[in-house]
């Protein structure tokens, strides 16, 4: 199959996102929030198609993470390499999160969103949930029932169990080789499932974006424009400045090649607002388009989707400054440093906390003594910003994966620099070739 078909799929996804956004805005402006079209089209057809698409992505997450991690660990052979790679990944994810929150706080302090904003009275409420202590987060990482962890999609527990299972297969030596072959075959099957979902992507993206803009509209953004634009600009700095700089300085890679190949996962992340649901697309991109070896990608991508919350950390910084300005609370340097530390460490346990971004924001506001009720002011625009935050998080996952792969000698630099690498058709043909070679 020609590479033009890969470009055609990417164009179709981008057109679907643009067309869905425009259609959603038109529906919101012309049809309002009531009527038969809203009931049967926006909350009917578009909702069903979008929900099915997201469900199909989530369906693949658990088998993909479990199988890929086991395959990745067994392919390493050397368990020392796994430990070294894990430490690198954790440090890099924590570093990028600290950078993100620092950038967000600095920018928000300069712009001053919320100054002169009249909060007035609002019927919106937010009930903050207390975050678990750090000790419970670490204890909760170990599954008491691996089957329950797999069925519930508890990503941290799945990662821990998969790593232990892969290590045990490696230690079993000769008797573990049959299990290794089984998982190699399962990995090929799961990747074929990913390719099938990829072909249906434009329809799902169109439905998700159209319904989001049809229900949210633009009227909620205008009163909070300073907060909205400050956070968008901060996310842009992280994606287009921080990650490219790290790629160049730590791995000597061309950032332009990286950013061009981020279109698919960034689009999926934006439309689904879920790093976890985007894992199948993210892994396919870093392996097929960027040349990261499966042994690295199968470990860093699921780990990043669980731990790396750069976009969410940025939201916390800008929102904290915004709410402080609205309520007339002066924040000192100690408060800012406390937010950097809290948000960075809290990202480790985000996957175990319901409500992710808003729950983490509750922790930050409590830490500096700001009213949690202020979250009600930003709930209206949080859905759109959540989509952008997720795209930032996924970009960070891919950047860290490339950096670690380069350091481990597990990056195909020819593939990384090839703008035509990674088509759906090429990936499918490669899988067939691998299966034929095994036969």
Judged on CB neighbours under 10 Å (0-12, 13-18, 19+), 437 is: exposed
Residue 61 reports pLDDT greater than 70 = yes
d(CA 78, CA 226): 51
What is the average pLDDT across 389-410?
Answer: 93
Point out the least confidently predicted range of 20-24, 111-115, 224-228, 432-436.
432-436
Q: How confident is the model at residue 353 (pLDDT cuts 50, 70, 90)?
A: very low
Residue 258 reports pLDDT greater than 50 = yes
pLDDT in tens, 125-155: 444 445 556 677 678 778 899 999 888 877 7
Residue 397 reports pLDDT greater than 80 = yes
pLDDT in tens, 148-177: 988 887 777 887 888 889 888 888 878 888
Q: What is the DSSP string of 239-267?
A: IIIIHHHHIIIII---HHHHHHTTHHHHH
d(CA 70, CA 184): 9
Number of domains in the chain: 1
What is the average pLDDT across 324-333?
Answer: 80
pLDDT of res. 405? 93
| Residue scoring higher pLDDT (401 or 348) | 401
pLDDT of res. 126? 46
Q: How confident is the model at residue 7 (pLDDT cuts 50, 70, 90)?
A: low
CA dihedral for 11, 17, 20, 23, sign (positive or negative): negative
pLDDT in tens, 193-203: 877 887 887 88
Residue 297 reports pLDDT greater than 50 = yes
Q: Write out the two tokens for 274.
A: 């879920």
- Select, from the ranges 8-17, 267-276, 284-293, 319-328, the one with the highest average predicted confidence (pLDDT): 284-293
pLDDT of res. 255? 94
Q: How confident is the model at residue 97 (pLDDT cuts 50, 70, 90)?
A: confident
pLDDT of res. 158? 83
Classified as helix, coil or strand, 326 is helix
Q: Write out the two tokens for 350.
A: 């985000």
What is the average pLDDT across 205-229?
Answer: 75
Q: How confident is the model at residue 427 (pLDDT cuts 50, 70, 90)?
A: very low
The residue behind tokens 């036969």 is: 439
| Residue percentage of the chain with pLDDT more than 90 | 17
* Boundaries of domain holding 422: 3-438
pLDDT of res. 361? 74
Residue 4 reports pLDDT greater than 70 = no
pLDDT of res. 3? 45
pLDDT of res. 173? 78
Closest CA to 300 of 399, 392, 391, 170: 399
As separate numbers, helices (DSSP H) first and strands (DSSP E) second, the chain gives 21, 0
pLDDT in tens, 232-241: 999 999 999 9
pTM: 0.71
pLDDT of res. 238? 95
CATH number of the domain that residue 202 is part of: 1.10.3860.10
What is the average pLDDT across 263-288?
Answer: 86
Residue 350 reports pLDDT greater than 80 = no
Residue 249 reports pLDDT greater than 90 = yes
Q: Are 67 and 183 in contact (CB under 8 A)?
A: yes
Point out the least confidently predicted range of 99-113, 129-143, 264-278, 364-378.
129-143
Q: How confident is the model at residue 431 (pLDDT cuts 50, 70, 90)?
A: very low
Residue 269 reports pLDDT greater than 50 = yes
pLDDT of res. 384? 75
pLDDT of res. 354? 33
pLDDT in tens, 374-384: 776 776 667 77
């Amino acid at each position: 199959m020609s590479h033009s078909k890969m470009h055609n799929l990417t164009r179709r996804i981008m057109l679907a996102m643009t067309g869905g956004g425009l259609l959603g805005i038109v529906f919101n402006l012309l049809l309002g929030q009531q009527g038969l079209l809203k009931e049967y089209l926006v909350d009917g057809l578009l909702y069903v198609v979008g929900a099915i698409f997201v469900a199909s992505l989530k369906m693949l997450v658990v088998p993909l993470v479990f199988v890929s991690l086991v395959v990745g660990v067994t392919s390493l052979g050397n368990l020392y390499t796994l430990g070294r790679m894990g430490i690198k990944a954790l440090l890099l994810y924590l570093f990028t999160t600290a950078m993100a929150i620092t950038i967000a706080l600095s920018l928000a302090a300069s712009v001053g969103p919320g100054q002169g904003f009249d909060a007035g009275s609002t019927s919106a409420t937010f009930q903050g949930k207390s975050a678990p202590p750090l000790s419970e987060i670490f204890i909760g990482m170990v599954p008491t029932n691996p089957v329950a962890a797999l069925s519930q999609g508890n990503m941290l527990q799945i990662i821990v169990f998969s790593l232990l299972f892969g290590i045990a297969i490696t230690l079993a030596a000769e008797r573990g080789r049959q299990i290794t072959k089984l998982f190699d075959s399962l990995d090929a099957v799961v990747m074929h499932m990913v390719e099938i979902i990829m072909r249906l992507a434009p329809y799902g993206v169109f439905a998700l974006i159209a319904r989001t803009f049809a229900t949210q509209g633009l009227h909620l953004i205008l009163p909070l424009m300073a907060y909205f634009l400050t956070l968008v600009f901060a996310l842009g700095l992280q994606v287009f400045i921080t990650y490219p700089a790290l790629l160049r300085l730590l791995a000597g890679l061309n950032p332009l090649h990286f950013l061009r190949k981020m279109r698919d996962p960034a689009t999926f992340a934006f439309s689904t607002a879920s790093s976890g649901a985007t894992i199948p697309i993210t892994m396919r991109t870093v392996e097929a388009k960027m040349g990261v070896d499966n042994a690295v990608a199968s470990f860093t991508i699921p780990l990043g989707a669980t731990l790396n919350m750069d976009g969410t950390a940025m939201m916390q910084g800008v929102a904290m400054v915004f709410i402080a300005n609205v309520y007339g609370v002066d924040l000192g340097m100690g408060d800012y440093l406390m937010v950097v530390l809290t948000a960075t460490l809290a990202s480790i346990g985000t996957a175990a906390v319901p409500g992710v971004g808003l729950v983490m924001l509750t922790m930050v506001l409590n830490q500096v003594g700001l009213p949690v009720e202020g979250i009600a002011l930003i709930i209206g625009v949080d859905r759109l910003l959540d989509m952008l935050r997720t795209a930032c998080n996924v970009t960070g996952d891919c950047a860290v994966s490339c950096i670690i792969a380069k350091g481990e000698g597990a990056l195909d630099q020819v593939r990384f620099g090839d703008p035509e690498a990674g088509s759906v058709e090429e990936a499918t043909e490669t899988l067939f070739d691998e299966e034929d070679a095994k036969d």
